[in-house]
Amino acid sequence: AMRHLPYFCRGEVVKGFGRGSKELGIPTANFSEQVVESFPSDISTGIYYGWACVGNGDVHKMVLSIGWNPFYKNIKKSVETHIIHTFKEDFYGEILSIVITGYIRPEKNFDSLEALISAIQEDIEEAKRQLDLPEHLKLKEDNFFNLPEGKTVNNH
């Protein structure tokens, strides 16, 4: 799972398939199918962590899931980023830049919604801890996140 890391990726945030992540308090910004197709085909599904920024905004910690996309009958992957930050508004159509720096665990099925939510909360805590370590922290400052001066993304 670590072979492709760190992995840099930039793309538009699209509508997901409405699994109600936001209702669980854990919204996930979905990348388009085209961006997902650009990922290494042998990258492991599961839960990862790293850094994310929307447009030319601040860089925040994130957890990311690479999973099988039920919308495509589980033959295509989905890549969904939960940014560990409270945003005032949705940002569909904006450009999301991420660097994936570490891997937490494989995909799992849960017996209950409560079990799923508490697993995700643990993933978030694990991500926060790991990202404070120098080898992960250093990628927060990567030039990848510095869009060229004066260049606007989606008018922001």
Contacts with Mg ion, 45-84, as mask; x by CB under 5 A:
-----------------------------------x----
Chosen from ligand ADP, Mg ion, none, partner binding at 127 (C-beta under 5 to 8 Å by type):
none
Residues 145/53, Cβ–Cβ less than 8 Å: yes
Question: Per rule CB under 6 A, is residue 28 in the interface with ligand ADP?
Answer: yes
Question: Per rule CB under 5 A, is residue 30 in the interface with Mg ion?
Answer: yes
Burial of residue 102 (number of CB atoms within 10 Å: 0-12, 13-18, 19+): buried
Residues 97/53, Cβ–Cβ less than 8 Å: yes
Question: Per rule CB under 6 A, is residue 43 in the interface with ligand ADP?
Answer: no
Question: Per rule CB under 6 A, is residue 22 in the interface with ligand ADP?
Answer: yes
d(CA 68, CA 83): 20
For residue 15, give the amino acid letter: K
Minimum distance of Mg ion from residue 143's CB (angstroms): 28
CB half-sphere exposure, 85, CA atoms < 13 A:
18
Please give the residue ranges that form the binding site for ligand ADP (CB under 6 A). 13, 15-18, 21-22, 27-30, 81-83, 85, 87, 90-92
Give the active site residues: 80
